[in-house]
Amino acid sequence: MDKDLAQQKIENAQSREELTAIYNELFGKNGSLTVTLKELKNLSIEERKERGAELNIIKRELQDVYDVKWNTLSEVDTHKPPIDVTLPGERTVTGDLHLTTKAIDDIRRIFQKIGFYDYTYHEVEWEYFSFDTLNMGPTHPARDDFETFFVQGPVSSKYGRMVMSPHTSSGQAREMLRRQGPPIRMISIAKCYRPNWDASHTPMFHQFEGLCVDKNITINHLKGTIAHFAREYYGSDVKTRLRPYHFQFTEPSFEVDISCSVCNGTGMVDNRKCKVCKSGWLELGGAGMVHPHVLRSGNIDPEVYSGWAFGIGIERILMMRGSIEDMRPLYEGNVSLYYHNS
Ligand code: DAH
């Protein structure tokens, strides 16, 4: 066991791997120093003491040299082949806008192009604007607290209680008053609130409301506008239809349907009823010609002006486009959903 030679070997090591091998050669089970120490037992007591002390000093010194060397060598083994920079890297996850935000941007752009401005109304609203101006009297079932969130707060003798606005229609009379009369071509996109929770309902959701008031406005303008939106948003093949319905604030009233893209409007897939629509059509939202009561609430003379309105749920159109099957995860903050859909 030559101390100087061992020290030199340690100091010349090029990598931690090599250093470990040298360490084992010296201090391992059959290492040269270990063996020399074991052989001490063959010596006389006197010699053993002297030689033992000497060897222990050498051992400690070599270990110190080893420790210093270990720290100077980097963890990366210099003898390993260099990293192959031509290998494909790991894909990093990038952020994206929320699906609802993207839908809102699309809607806004489509309507801006045909001359509609957008204006957002309040999330906390008076009963008066959410119901009374819309011809929904004091006993209308939507005013039940199973249907609408009432806010604890001041009660106005003129406007009633405060509610979390249950639909964007609350902005209809407000817009007529704000503009102080026609022409009105508004698209209003906002959060709405209702106490529901299932695959197609969350307590907070979004709607967009179209409102157009001017002289000689007819159902044709409503049909044309909705058909334009559906083609721009879903694709040029999509057909629209108005189906007679009832709303308090429009007369006549319609439900707006679009042809189902899964079965191409036939209602059948492989000789079976289409699972998505069952009939070839999917309901997009509500619409109609603005009721004279609503126009009067907005200070507009129904004898001179007419108008149309529609209201459509944004999460609903995302579901109809096949972007999501269940609305609830949209507002649960589970980020992986967006990577699958964007
Ligand atoms: N406010 C209705 C709802 O939330 C939707 C609606 C129907 C809006 C007909 C309208 C309309 O403007 O004309 O269910």
Residue 224 inside a domain? The answer is yes
In the prediction, which pLDDT does 14 show?
A: 87
The pLDDT assigned to 324 comes to: 78
Q: Is residue 11 domain-shared with residue 116, that is, in the same domain? A: no
In a domain, 17, yes or no: yes
Residues 318 and 233 grouped into a single domain = yes
Ligand 1 pocket: which of 246, 310, 312, 314 to mutate (most atoms <8 Å of CB)?
310
CATH for 283 = 3.30.930.10
Averaged pLDDT in 10-residue chunks for the chain of 342 residues = 88 89 91 89 89 90 90 70 82 84 97 97 97 97 96 95 98 98 97 94 97 98 97 93 97 96 86 85 95 98 98 92 83 69 48
Ligand 1 atom 12: residue of nearest CA: 310
Phi, psi of 240 (to 5 degrees): -125, 155
Same domain, 104 and 41: no
Query: Domains in the chain: how many in total?
Result: 2
Residue 217 lies in a domain: yes
What crossing angle do the helices spanning 3-12 and 45-72 adopt, rounded to 10°? 10
pLDDT tens, position by position, 151-186: 999 999 999 999 999 999 999 999 999 999 999 999
Shared-domain flag, residues 296 and 230: yes
Residue 156 lies in a domain: no
Beta-carbon count within 10 A of 129 CB = 23
Give residue 342's pLDDT: 46
Distance from the alpha carbon of residue 286 to the mean position of ligand 1, in angstroms:
5
Best residue among 129, 169, 251, 254 to mutate for probing ligand 1's pocket (most ligand atoms within 8 Å of CB) is 169
Would residue 192 count as lying in a domain? Answer: yes
Residue nearest to atom 2 of ligand 1 (CA): 311
Which domain covers residue 61, as residue numbers?
A: 3-78
| Shared domain check, 50 and 116 | no
Atom of ligand 1 nearest to the CA of 192: 4
Chain-centroid distance of CA 310 in Å reads 26
DSSP 211-268: EEEETT--HHHHHHHHHHHHHHHH-TT--EEEEEE--TTEEEEEEEEEE-TTTTTSSE
Distance (Å) from CA 271 to ligand 1 centroid: 35
Residue 264's pLDDT is 85
Q: Could you tell me if 115 and 216 lie in one domain?
A: yes
pLDDT at 80: 66
pTM: 0.73
Nearest 10 degrees: CA dihedral of 220, 226, 232, 233?
Answer: -170
Q: Is residue 137 in some structural domain?
A: no
Q: Are 222 and 329 in the same domain?
A: yes
Nearest CA residue ID for atom 5, ligand 1: 311
Is residue 72 domain-shared with residue 116, that is, in the same domain?
A: no
Identify the pLDDT of residue 90: 81
In terms of domains, do 67 and 191 share one?
no
Considering the domain architecture, whether residues 109 and 37 belong to the same structural domain is answered as no
Q: Which residue's CA is minimally distant from atom 13 of ligand 1?
A: 287
Residue that finishes a domain, picked among 46, 78, 110: 78
pLDDT score of 338: 53
3-state helix, strand, coil in the chain (%, to 5): 40, 25, 35
The answer to whether residues 184 and 276 belong to one domain is: yes
187, 336: one domain: yes
Which among 78, 112, 138 is the end of a domain? 78
Ligand 1, atom 3: nearest CA belongs to which residue?
167
Of 78, 112, 144, the one marking the end of a domain is: 78
pLDDT at 340: 53
Specify if 279 maps to a domain.
yes
